Structure 1
Amino acid sequence: MVKFDLAHTEVRGFDALTKAPSHWDVLRIATLFRESQEMGQDGLPVLSVSINWGISDRELNDDDRHRIVNQIDDKNSYKRVRPGDLVYNMMRAWQGALGVAKLDGLVSPAYVVARPTRKLHAPYFEYLLRTPIWIEDLRRASKGIADFRQRLYWEHFRQVLVLLPPLSEQMSIADFLGRETARINRLIEKKRLFGMSVACRIEALVDQAISDANVPRIRFEHLTQRVSRPVTLSEHDELVRLGLYNRGRGIFKKPAADEEGMGDSEFFFVESGDLILSGQFAWEGAAALATAEEEGCVVSHRYPVYRGKSGVNTSYLLGLLRSSYGDFLLNEASRGSAGRNRPLNVRRLGKEKIPVPGSELQKAVEQAVDFERRLKRKTEQSIARLEEFRTALITAVVTGQIDVTTWGKQGQTDRRLERIEEAMRA
C-alpha cells in the first residue's frame, strides 16, 4: 500500500492508475458497462441528474420537469433506468452531472444510460467518476468547440480508463464514503444554518422599527443620495466589475477587463459603504453593501448605488431592504411584462416610505450587518476547507491510497483523518 498524506498529496491523472493497489485492475468503461437504449413507459417517475448530488431518487415536479428536461407528453420517448445504472447528462458530464440510479425511472433522451455488464457495485464508480481526476478525463473525452457545446458521447465515454477493486472493496469504499461524507455534509450544513441565524437577528431588529407606530416614515428618495462616480474607460488599463447574487448573498467580482472587454455600458466607481442594488434582480433580493474589498471596482449603469443621508445609516437601509418588508418594497418597485424581466423602477422605489428609527437601533442593525459579513467570510473559508477535505478524502479512497478495509482495526488512519478534520473546522 502506498503511503498517503491526505494533507499534502495530490493524485493526478496517470498517477492514480499507476499508484493504485497492485490487486486492483485498470479497465476501460466499455468492459464494465454497455449503453442501454431501453425505452420508458408510463407510470415511472421522471428523474434528473444534478452536478452536486447525482441522480435524483424522487420524481421531478411539474416546474422542475419543464425547467430541466424537455416536456414530452409520451413518456415512451424517455429512457428507462434501473437500479444500479450509471446515468450521465451528455451536455454536462464534464461538470460532474452523473450518478447511479437507486430506483426504476425515466430520464431525458439527452441522458446516456450505462448498464453494468458484470457484477459490480455501481456507487463506487459514481464516487470515482466525480473526482477531479476523472472529471478532467470526461472533459477531455467530451467534444465541442466551446464549454457550453461540449457533448460526451457513449463512444468516447466507453474509452475512459477506471480503477476496478475487488467487489468486496468496492462495497466497503462506497459504504465508508457514504458515512464520512455524510458527516462532513452535516458539519457544512450546521455552519450555513448558523450564518442564517444572524440574518434572522437583522430581520428582528428591523421589525422593531416597522412595528413601532411612533417611528417616522419617510420617503426613500429623501433618506438617500444616488451616488454617481463616472468612469472614463480610456484612462484605465483594466477594471474589475461587480455583480450581485440574489437572496442577499452578497457581491461577486467579474474578471478584470480592458476598455474593449467592458462592452457598451456606462460604468461607475464603487466605494466602501455604498449600497448597491441590481436593476434587474432587486426583486430577488440582489442588494449588498460594498466593503474595502470592493473599493475601486466598478458597476454598470444597471446597478443603482445609494448612500444614506445625514442621520440615516446605510447599513440600516440594507438591513431593511433584506427584510420581508424590504422584499415587499423591492417587488412593488419592480414591474415587468413577463417572467423574470422585472427591472427596478428607481422612481417608484424613491416614493416608498420606510421607517427611520433612532440612531441606537440603526447602530444595532449596522453591527449585526457587519458581524454577518465577517461571519460569512469566515464560514465560507471554513466550508471551502471542508469541501476540499471531502474531495481529497474521496479521491484518496477511490484510488486506493487509503485502505478502508483496515478502517477501525488499527485506528491509525482514523486518528490521522480526525486531526486533519479538526484543523479544517477551525
Structure 2
Amino acid sequence: MSDAFSGRYAAYQSELVGWAGETPSHWMPTRNKDIFAERGSLSQTGEEILLTVSHITGVTRRSEKNVSMFMAETMEGYKQCKKGDLVINTMWAWMGALGTATEDGICSPAYGVYAPRRFVPYSPRFFDYLYRTSCAISEMTRNSKGIVSSRLRLYPKEFFQILTALPPYQEQVAIANYLDVKTLQIDREIDLLGQKAAEYRKLKQSLINETVTRGLDKSVAKKSSGVDWIGEIPSHWSITRVKDLAKSTNGGAFKDDLVDIGLPIIKIQQLTLGCDATEFCSPRSPKLKDGNRLRCGDLVFSWSTLIAPFIYTGKDGVLNQHIFKISHSRRTHRGWLYYKLYQSTARLMIFAHGSTMQHILKSDFDNLEMETPPFAEQVAIASFLDMNTSKIDRIVTAIDAKIGTLKDLRKSLVNHVVTGKIKVVSEG
C-alpha cells in the first residue's frame, strides 16, 4: 500500500475548529476530553526507561539527550506513559514541547500524560505531526494559564477543552505515512546542505588560522616564538599580549537602572541572533562610562560564552557585564585584531573556568600572548581576509537561505496536510 497526494477534498466545513481553519466536512470536530484521558499511574520502582520532551525532537529517551540538569536521586513516583500516549511538558507547551511516545517509559511528574480513549480513531504519528504545528501550539498557548509567557502552564482541564478536527483512522495513517516520506526527503536535503555549510565554515576558520599565524608570504624565514603552544613565527614578528595591543572593558550590571525607554542593553542574544534589545538603561545611570557604551563598528567579545568576537553593527547602546568592549591602540589594526581574536578563541579555552558555562577571567584575556606582525602587514592580512572570507560568507548565507526555505516548506506541508488543506489518500 502506498500513499499519494491528490489535491483538495471535495467539501469543507466552516471554521468549527478555529485554530485549524477550514477542515474537510467529514472530519469530526471533537474536544480533546473525548479523545484522551489523563493517565494517572505512577512508577513503583523508578526503574523504567526515562523519557523527556523537547520542542525539537518530541518524546525521546533522556539518555539520548545531552542534558546537564539535576537528576533526582530516585524516579519512584514518576508518571508512567505507554507507547502512543501524548506527552506534554506542562511548563513548555507554549514552545511546542510535546509529542507521542514511541515506547513505554516514565516521565517527569511535571508533564501531562494523555492516553487515547478506546474506540476513538487515533494514530499516534498523526497526532505527533498535528499537535507540533505552529497553529496547534498557538492554540495550546492561548489555553495556557499564567501572567507572562515564560510562566505559562497548560493544565489538563484547559487541554481537554481544545477542539480537534478528527479524521477517520485510515486517513490519519495515510497522512502520517505520507508525511514520514516527504519530511524525511526534506530533512535529508537540509542535512546535506547543513554539512556543506559546515565545510565552508571550516574552510573559513582554516584560512583565518593559517593567515594570522603564518602571514601572507609563506617563504619568509621563521624563528621560535618562545611559547610552546605557539611554535614558530615569521622572524620579523613579535609576541605581544592583548593588553599591549588593545584595552578591554567590561560591560555593566544595570539591574538597578532599568527604564522603559532609554539606552538599549546589548546582551549576547543581540550579538548572536541579531534580535532587538528587551531591556533599557537610564542615561543617568552612575554605572555608565565610555568603556561600556557601544557604538556601531566597535569590537566586542563575550567572555562568558567563548564564542568568536563580533564587530557590532546595531544601534548605539550599552554592554551588559558578560561582554568586553575592545578598543585597539593606534599601532594595532582593528580588522587584524578581529581576525586574530577570532583565531585565538580556541586558545582561550586553556584558561576557561566553570563546568556548565565556561568563561574566562579578564586578566587571562588581557595576558593572552599573540604572534603579532608589523602594522602594515596587519593591514594587508585584514584586507586579504576581508576579501576571501566575505566570499565564503556569501556562499554560507546562500546555503542557509536554502535551508530556511526548506524548513518553511516542511512546516507548511505538515500544516496543510494535517489540517486537511491538502488531501492524502491510500492507494492499494
TM normalised by structure 1 equals: 0.77
**Alpha-carbon distance, 1:18 to partner:** 6.1
Report the counterpart of residue 417 of structure 1 in structure 2: none
Report the counterpart of residue 122 of structure 1 in structure 2: 124
Corresponding residue SS for 1:191:
helix
> Which ranges of structure 1 fall in alignment gaps of 5 or more residues?
5-10, 410-426
Report the counterpart of residue 100 of structure 2 in structure 1: 100
Q: C-alpha distance in 2, partners of 1:162/1:367?
A: 54
- AA aligned to 1:28 is R
Report the counterpart of residue 418 of structure 1 in structure 2: none
Q: Is the 8 A contact 1:251 1:288 kept in 2?
A: no
Aligned runs of 1:22-421 on 2, under 5 Å?
22-40=25-43, 41-56=45-60, 58-60=61-63, 64=67, 67=69, 71-118=71-118, 119-208=121-210, 209=213, 212-214=232-234, 215-226=237-248, 238-244=262-268, 250=272, 252-255=274-277, 259-260=281-282, 266=288, 267-272=292-297, 274-281=298-305, 284-285=306-307, 287-291=309-313, 294=314, 296-300=316-320, 302-309=322-329, 312-323=332-343, 325-329=344-348, 332=351, 335=353, 340=357, 342=359, 344-357=360-373, 358-359=377-378, 360-375=380-395, 377-405=397-425
Q: C-alpha distance in 1, partners of 2:357/2:41?
A: 38
Name the CA shift for 1:251/1:35 in 2 (closer, same or farther; >3 Å): closer
CA deviations 1:264-301 (Å, max 9, x no partner) are 753413222x32112433xx32532224xx25354346
Identity %: 24
- AA aligned to 1:24 is W
Name the CA shift for 1:379/1:106 in 2 (closer, same or farther; >3 Å): same
Runs of 4+, deviation exceeding 6 Å: 227-230, 261-264
Q: C-alpha distance in 2, partners of 1:201/1:262?
A: 46
Name the CA shift for 1:113/1:85 in 2 (closer, same or farther; >3 Å): same
**Alpha-carbon distance, 1:400 to partner:** 0.6
Corresponding residue SS for 2:323:
coil
Corresponding residue SS for 1:60:
helix
CA deviations 1:280-333 (Å, max 9, x no partner) are 33xx32532224xx253543465322254456543443344344x53232552x
**Which structure is higher in helix share?**
1
Name the CA shift for 1:265/1:148 in 2 (closer, same or farther; >3 Å): farther
Bigger mean CA offset, 204-213 vs 33-42: 204-213
Corresponding residue SS for 1:218:
strand
CA deviations 1:85-115 (Å, max 9, x no partner) are 1101011112101011111211111111111
Corresponding residue SS for 1:304:
strand
Q: C-alpha distance in 2, partners of 1:405/1:50?
A: 31
CA deviations 1:12-39 (Å, max 9, x no partner) are 8845656211121111111111111122
Report the counterpart of residue 7 of structure 1 in structure 2: none
Corresponding residue SS for 2:51:
coil
Aligned runs of 1:2-21 on 2, under 5 Å?
14-15=17-18, 19-21=22-24
CA deviations 1:201-258 (Å, max 9, x no partner) are 233234431564335322212223558999xx99x96544433259xx8353333665
**Alpha-carbon distance, 1:166 to partner:** 1.2
Q: C-alpha distance in 2, partners of 1:93/1:157?
A: 10
Q: Is the 8 A contact 1:79 1:107 kept in 2?
A: yes
Q: C-alpha distance in 1, partners of 2:84/2:251?
A: 59
**Alpha-carbon distance, 1:402 to partner:** 0.4
Q: C-alpha distance in 2, partners of 1:12/1:193?
A: 42
Name the CA shift for 1:178/1:63 in 2 (closer, same or farther; >3 Å): closer
Name the CA shift for 1:45/1:225 in 2 (closer, same or farther; >3 Å): same
Q: Is the 8 A contact 2:251 2:321 kept in 1?
A: no
Q: C-alpha distance in 2, partners of 1:170/1:314?
A: 59
Q: C-alpha distance in 2, partners of 1:229/1:157?
A: 44
- AA aligned to 2:176 is A
> Which ranges of structure 2 fall in alignment gaps of 5 or more residues?
1-5, 214-229
Q: Is the 8 A contact 1:128 1:398 kept in 2?
A: yes
CA deviations 1:112-144 (Å, max 9, x no partner) are 111111352111112111122211211122112
Q: Is the 8 A contact 1:241 1:253 kept in 2?
A: no
Name the CA shift for 1:400/1:252 in 2 (closer, same or farther; >3 Å): same
Report the counterpart of residue 217 of structure 2 in structure 1: none
**Which structure is higher in strand share?**
2
Larger relative contact order, structure 1 or 2 (CA cutoff 8 Å, min sep 6): 2
**Alpha-carbon distance, 1:347 to partner:** 3.5
Name the CA shift for 1:212/1:177 in 2 (closer, same or farther; >3 Å): farther
Q: C-alpha distance in 2, partners of 1:252/1:263?
A: 25
Q: C-alpha distance in 2, partners of 1:263/1:384?
A: 41
Q: C-alpha distance in 1, partners of 2:54/2:404?
A: 20
Q: Is the 8 A contact 1:244 1:250 kept in 2?
A: yes
Q: Is the 8 A contact 1:250 1:287 kept in 2?
A: no
CA deviations 1:36-58 (Å, max 9, x no partner) are 112224442211000112111x3
TM normalised by structure 2 equals: 0.76
Q: C-alpha distance in 1, partners of 2:284/2:16?
A: 37
Name the CA shift for 1:378/1:315 in 2 (closer, same or farther; >3 Å): farther
- AA aligned to 1:404 is V
Report the counterpart of residue 414 of structure 1 in structure 2: none
CA deviations 1:132-188 (Å, max 9, x no partner) are 221121112211222222211112111111111111110111122222222222333
Q: C-alpha distance in 2, partners of 1:261/1:159?
A: 48
Aligned residues: 384
